[in-house]
Every structure is written in structure tokens, then in C-alpha cells.
Structure 1
Amino acid sequence: MAIEQLPDGRWKVDTEPIKGRRFRKTFKTKGEAQRFEATCRAKCIETPDWSPRPKDTRRLLELIDRWRLLHGHALSDIYRTELVLRRMAEGMGNPIACRLSGAQYTEYRAKRLAAGITGKTVNTQLGHLCAVFNILQELGEIDYSNPLAKVKPLKLQERELSYLSREQIEVLFNAIREHCRTPHTAMVATICLATGCRWGEAQGLRPERVKDGAVHFVNTKSKRRRSVPIDAALQDCIQEHFTRHGLFTNCRDSFDFAVKMSGLDLPAGQKSHVLRHSFASHFMMNGGNILTLQKILGHASLNMTMRYAHLAPEYLRDVISLGPIRDFRHLYGADGSTM
């Protein structure tokens, strides 16, 4: 008999759809057993070599290990990303991966937020975890879709990008000269301010990448090479610095200390990045083109660069000449009348 009930109430399937292809499995309900039998018969007729895959009971940490082996090893920040993923898995009790639910994750997220973790951080971590499932499915490592596909990232208030005025730039560099012992800090900061690059990109420069009136960045966040023009005087200054002091060393902490000593009030997480924001902001305020800025900053999407568009002198000026209020200036006395 293909399906029979066992003494403990479970249902056993013992079927041989074609000669030499026998399948046995036990289920809690008769309906599940019947569906399995029907599936086996249909699949074996279509594909004689077909065999039901065993249920995937691997836990999340084991899946993260497979993701690291198959894909993660090629990432530049694999150690930090893997650490984040493993802490998430442990925080959720290392569940069986295919049984992870959106409710289980959002409960974990709520606890993280209550503990003071920022919304931006939990959104980034959700992206990492979803990427693990999506990549493993694409590679055929798992046969189920991302269980967190319907979990939406938190909607966050867009942060104001802080940039330095000319006076504040002078204050900052005075603090660097006064409080930083390493000579590299001032030069790295100067390169960031002159090219809009990230601190790590400037700090990783070598002499051969400063030539022909440009700085050539190779190890970038987007993995794309880009070149940013600089004037001849700055190029000579950078090359002289390499000759006298050697390659740049890690001086990020030194810069952060200078910012603290300068008394400048900067948003959290924007210390060294304020130089990049300052370059982009002044570039647009001085009449720069938004598409050119995108190439200089190395943004893959124009949406990221558009954060600086409002600083352009003529940005959205048409609202004054084309908006409906132009025909109703008497409402606020702009036509010379009194309200």
C-alpha cells in the first residue's frame, strides 16, 4: 500500500512510481502524504532521474559560513561584514534558516533599536542578511527564497549634510597644524578637501598615482578607478611630502583629535567625511555641474549626488517665476500695496 497510517498517528508513504525508483517518507497528516506521493509520481514520469531533495535544516550560522566560502571571500570588507552577520544570527538564537520569519527578525530589530542602535545601522544589517539569502539562492545553494523579502527597511529622516565654511576650514587646519604630531594628517586632509575623496582613498595614495596634473584613485569603495584633476602646485607639494616623509600612515585618529580641539560641532559620523561634503558643497555653490560632481565623487547613482543639488545658485529658482504665486503678489504686498 502506497500510504498507510502508523500506530503513532503519522502517515507513511512507500511508493514506487517506476521500477527501481522507490520513495519512503513519513508525514504528520494524510494530506501531506498524498501530496508527496502525487509529486513523486508526476516528477518521475517527467524526469525519471528526479529525486526529492531532503529538507534543508541548516541553521543561519552554517548558511553564513557557506556564503563566506562561495561569495563573501571576494568582498573587501568581509571580516567586518561576517562579524555583523554572525552577531545577528546569534542575537536571533541561530534559527533554522529556512524557518526564519519576518516577525522573528522584526522582533530582534525592535530590541536592537531599544538598545540604542541607530536606524541606519539596522537597515544596513538587514541588507547584509538579505544579500546572504539572495546570493545563496542564485548559486543554487538553497532552494527557497529570501524569508525576509517582505521586511521593509525603516524609513529614516534624511540627515543634513554638514559642510565647512571658508572660515571653519581655516580653523580646522590651524588645529591640525597645532595638535597633530604626524605630518601626514594635514596632507591627507588637504587631498580630501581638494578632490572630494574619502579619507581612506587619500590615505592609500602612492607617489605613482599622483601625476599628469591629477590624483588617480584605485582602491575605491565602488571598485571603480577614477582620476581627479589638481593644480601643479598641489601635485608638487604631495610629491615633496612623499619624498620627505614616506608613504601615508593611518592618521584618522589624529584628524579626529584635531576636529575635537578645533571646537567645531560636527554631526556624529561625519568627522573626516566633512571634508568630502565640504568639497561637494562648495563645488555646487560655485556653479559646478551635478553630473561632473557625480564623476568626481565616484557615485554609482546620481541620486546620491543630488543631495548637493540644492546648493547650486540657480537650483529650483524657477519656482519664483513659474509658480502660481506670481499672479498673487498682492497677498503679501510685493506689488507695492499694503496687506
Structure 2
Amino acid sequence: MAIVQLPDGRWRVDVEPIKGKRFRKTLKTKGEAQRFEATCRSKCIETPNWSPKPKDRRRLSELVQLWYELHGVSLTDGHRRFAILKTTAQAMGDPIARSVEGAHVASIRAKWMAKGVTGKTANNRLGYLKAVYNELHKLDVIDYPCPFSRIQPVRLQERPLAYLTKPQIAELLEALRTRDTAPHTYMVAVICLSTGARWGEAQALTPERIGSGVITFANTKSKRVRAVPVARSLVESIHKHWREHGPFSNCIGVFRKVLLETSINPPKGQSSHILRHTFAAHFIMGGGHIVTLKEILGHASLSMTMRYAHLAPEHLHDAIRLGPMADFTLPPANP
């Protein structure tokens, strides 16, 4: 019963803290062996039934599966994330989950981006991976934190948010209105432009969510219910549309196709979302309050809504009025 060194340089622990309770383990260094022996003795004195846990050898794909079963199924986009995570685990060689190193994750991310994966997509994948470890750690499924928590997302260049001008709105609505094959597309677009709703939120509306001058969105990204006042004429138009055509169907594909047929050229990834940006932009340019806009859009934090602040008529004008050069008159430039 001792700590002995093996021929290959490793150290063998054979300890019996209490009679009938014997532990054996082989470790790389003598220090690790001594710590293991001391832990066994102290733990068994405190709790006679204690025994050391075997090292967690589960692979990343196993953790991904557990994450989905215990948490992912409750998320709106859980199935999509699950598919991304499984592909990511395979791309990383499905390593032992607890032994994943930050350098390996950074290397995989660099390969993704070299193949054309955008920085935003790479950041999303990294965030999904971290969430697997963090959630399972909170649930006590694993006893260690995310091993690559210090890896930071790629810093992205902020893109200006595109929005439609009044003539472009008229052009788009006319193109949608005359498309007979998908009558729902026009009305869903009108709701998005009138409320700042996401396409999916507007498309999922049902009669009981439309009251007297108010539309209530319940299937929101933030999981919070929000109500947006609208013109009575819009409420009447929606009810009339449903009487004639039935409930809304999935028509986002038709919208994207019609949008491409117009003279409007939205930035990549902002097709249906351009309607939400359009509502927000015109609301702020018309003098609307940024905090009110936050509540209408249902943003979780004001920082998201501040992306539209530069469109306010008085935005940052205090930089001129209060800056150190406010009282100076500059001499004319030399000819």
C-alpha cells in the first residue's frame, strides 16, 4: 500500500483509507499521485461511502446529444442548432469533450473562414459550442466549465442597416399586391411595415391576437408578448383578407422572389428584415423616441435599438453645440 514508480516513469497509487475501501490509480507525476492519495484519505474520513469519479471520457458529439435532449428541444431554433453542432463536432474530429483546447477551436474557425464562412456564422458556431458546455455544467451533467471559454468572437465590421424610402415602399407593395399566386405576402408585408414585426411574427398572427386598434405578438424571439397599436383601417383590412383568403401561410419565399424583381437591391441577409428596419428608421426620422422604439420592436436591450439612433433629426448635434470649438470662429482658408 504505497506510491511506487513504474518502469515507464508513471506513478502507481494503491491506498486503503479505511478497511475494505481500496483505491488504485496510475498517474503521470509523483505530485499527482500524492494528491490523489491524500484526497482519498480525507474524503473517506468525511464520507465513508465516497469513491473517486472516473475521468469523463465522453466525446463532443455525446455532449451535443445530451444538450439537445435536456435543453435544445425547448428552444425555438433548437433543431437547427443541433444540426449545426453535430456538423461542427464532426469537423473538429469529435474529440474528448473535456480535452478540447482553445488553439484547436481557433484553428477550426480559421479553416471555416478560409473556406468562405462569414465571421458572423463563425461566431454563432463558437457561441453554440460554448452554450453546450455552459448549459450542461449548470445542469451538473459535466463537472468542468467550457475548456475554451477565453476564445473571443471574431470582431466584425458593423454594417449600416438598409431601409426603404417612401417610393421604394410603394414600388414593393404594388409588386406584391399584383402577385395573385400569393395573396398573403402583401398583407404580411403591410403588417411588418406598420408594426416593425419580424416576418415570422406577422405570418403567425391569428384573429384572437388582433384587437381594437392593437396587434399582439406572442411568438416572439425574446419569448415576451408585446402589443403594438395600429390604425383601425389595418385591423379591418386584415380581417377582410382572412375572410377572403383564410389564415396566413408560409410565404417568405414569394416575398424574397418578388423583392428581387423590383429595383430595390437589399444587402445580403436583409431581405425580409428590411421591412423591420424600414419601420424603425422612419419612426426615428419622424421624431419617435428611442426607448419607445425599443418597446415596439421588443428588443431585450437598448443597445440593439441604438443602431437606429443616428437617424434621429437631432442625433449627436450636441457635438457641435457643446464641443470645444463651439465658440470659435475659424479664419477663412488660404486661397
**TM-score, normalised to structure 2's length?**
0.96
Give 2:54's aligned residue.
Answer: 54
Asked whether the 8 Å contact 1:180–1:255 carries over to 2, the reply is: no
Q: Which amino acid aligns with 2:303?
A: N
- In the TM superposition, what are the counterparts of 1:12-27 in structure 2 within 5 Å? 12-27=12-27
CA positional deviation for 1:6? 3.7
Distance 1:237 1:141, change over 3 A: same
SS in 2 for 1:330: coil
Q: Which amino acid aligns with 2:151?
A: V
- In the TM superposition, what are the counterparts of 1:270-309 in structure 2 within 5 Å? 270-309=270-309
- In the TM superposition, what are the counterparts of 1:186-335 in structure 2 within 5 Å? 186-331=186-331
CA positional deviation for 1:18? 2.0
Q: Which amino acid aligns with 1:292?
A: T
Distance 1:29 1:319, change over 3 A: closer
Asked whether the 8 Å contact 1:162–1:266 carries over to 2, the reply is: yes
Does residue 1:153 correspond to 2:172, yes or no?
Answer: no
Give 1:3's aligned residue.
Answer: 3
1:10-65 deviation per Cα after TM superposition (whole angstroms, max 9, x unaligned): 43211011223211112233332222112212222333333211000000000111
Give 2:83's aligned residue.
Answer: 83
| Structure 2 CA distance for aligned equivalents of residues 8 and 98 of structure 1 | 25
Q: How many residues align?
A: 335
Percent identity between matched residues is: 56
| Structure 2 CA distance for aligned equivalents of residues 117 and 219 of structure 1 | 30
Asked whether the 8 Å contact 2:199–2:273 carries over to 1, the reply is: yes
| Structure 1 CA distance for aligned equivalents of residues 245 and 191 of structure 2 | 16
| Structure 2 CA distance for aligned equivalents of residues 178 and 73 of structure 1 | 40
| Structure 2 CA distance for aligned equivalents of residues 129 and 172 of structure 1 | 40
Q: Which amino acid aligns with 1:116?
A: G
Distance 1:79 1:331, change over 3 A: farther
**TM-score, normalised to structure 1's length?**
0.95
1:130-156 deviation per Cα after TM superposition (whole angstroms, max 9, x unaligned): 011011111111111111210000110
- In the TM superposition, what are the counterparts of 1:20-35 in structure 2 within 5 Å? 20-35=20-35
| Structure 2 CA distance for aligned equivalents of residues 296 and 332 of structure 1 | 48
SS in 1 for 2:259: helix
Q: Which amino acid aligns with 1:170?
A: A
Q: What is the aligned-residue RMSD (CA, Å)? A: 1.5
Give 1:105's aligned residue.
Answer: 105
| Structure 1 CA distance for aligned equivalents of residues 246 and 52 of structure 2 | 63
1:285-316 deviation per Cα after TM superposition (whole angstroms, max 9, x unaligned): 00001111001000010000000111111111
| Structure 1 CA distance for aligned equivalents of residues 171 and 329 of structure 2 | 44
Asked whether the 8 Å contact 2:72–2:79 carries over to 1, the reply is: no
SS in 1 for 2:327: helix
CA positional deviation for 1:263? 2.0
Distance 1:14 1:281, change over 3 A: same
Distance 1:325 1:58, change over 3 A: same
Structure 2: gaps spanning 5 or more residues: none
Asked whether the 8 Å contact 2:60–2:94 carries over to 1, the reply is: yes
CA positional deviation for 1:167? 0.9
1:74-95 deviation per Cα after TM superposition (whole angstroms, max 9, x unaligned): 1111110100111110000000
Give 2:184's aligned residue.
Answer: 184
Q: Which amino acid aligns with 1:22?
A: R
Give 1:171's aligned residue.
Answer: 171
CA positional deviation for 1:331? 4.1
Bigger shift: residues 99-108 or 22-31: 22-31
Asked whether the 8 Å contact 1:5–1:12 carries over to 2, the reply is: yes
SS in 1 for 2:167: helix
| Structure 2 CA distance for aligned equivalents of residues 166 and 36 of structure 1 | 73
Bigger shift: residues 202-211 or 178-187: 178-187
| Structure 2 CA distance for aligned equivalents of residues 80 and 331 of structure 1 | 62
1:223-259 deviation per Cα after TM superposition (whole angstroms, max 9, x unaligned): 0001101111110000000111000011101110111
| Structure 2 CA distance for aligned equivalents of residues 57 and 74 of structure 1 | 27
Asked whether the 8 Å contact 1:57–1:97 carries over to 2, the reply is: yes
Give 2:72's aligned residue.
Answer: 72
SS in 1 for 2:306: helix
